[in-house]
Amino acid sequence: MTIDILPFVYGLASALIWGAGDFSGGVASKRGNTYWVVLISQLIGGFLLAGLALLFSEKLLNTQDLMFGGLAGISGMVGLLGLYAGLASGKMSVIAPLTAVISVILPVIITAFTDGLPTTTTLIGFAIAIIAVWLLSAGGGQQSHIQRQELQYAIVAGVGFSLFFVFIDKVSAGAIFWPLVAARIAAITSFFYF
């Protein structure tokens, strides 16, 4: 039996990048205005994604992909604002993992209805993640308990990211960068309404 190590490498690399992004965004939000941090990160990301789409000559979007990319962007903007506001005002070590667990719930429920229940291993992983978040928020004295506002930020962020994953999953299989560009454009546009 051979083990394909590439998924583990990609998983670890994405965890490292997402973790670094969460940490950097939280620190930047503590030092500055959360809205400006989110706006600047979305602008830079949008330009980089557009550049990659052009570099790889990706085919332009059809209307459906554009719509789902836009809905994903608006949802992601809500999630990002909730996450960065939570990281700026609360405990990063609790807000980030709680947001991550919440952000998986809606896609898993939708997948359970469309593709069947998750595997036992996946369900055990969710249980371990929920226990870990509970231990993070409940251990070590009065100061470590999660506050109501921190929980609200994590829920808003988690639901926003959940909807991002649900909508971005609906784009065509070959579309990679342009749906994300559409998401960034919609996110930046919707930003001015928040």
The mean pLDDT value for 28-38 works out to 83
pTM of the model: 0.80
Instruction: Give residue 141's pLDDT band: very low, low, confident or very high (50, 70, 90).
Output: low
Residue 85: the pLDDT is 87
The 8 Å CB, 24+ separation contacts for 17-22 are 19/96, 22/83, 22/87, 22/92, 22/96
Cα distance between residue 167 and residue 103, in whole Å: 13
Q: What is the pLDDT of residues 64-86, one digit of tens each?
A: 999 999 999 999 999 988 988 88
State what percent of residues in the chain have pLDDT above 70.
92
Confidence of residue 23 (pLDDT cuts 50, 70, 90): confident
pLDDT, position 64? 92
Quick one: pLDDT band at residue 4, thresholds 50, 70, 90?
A: confident
Answer for the pair 72, 168: CB distance below 8 angstroms, yes or no. yes
Calculate ∠ Cα 64-68-71, nearest 5°: 140
Q: Please give the backbone phi and psi of residue 182, each rounded to the nearest 5 degrees, phi first.
A: -60, -40
45-56: pLDDT as tens digits: 899 999 999 999
For residues 125 and 187, is the Cβ–Cβ distance under 8 A? Answer: no
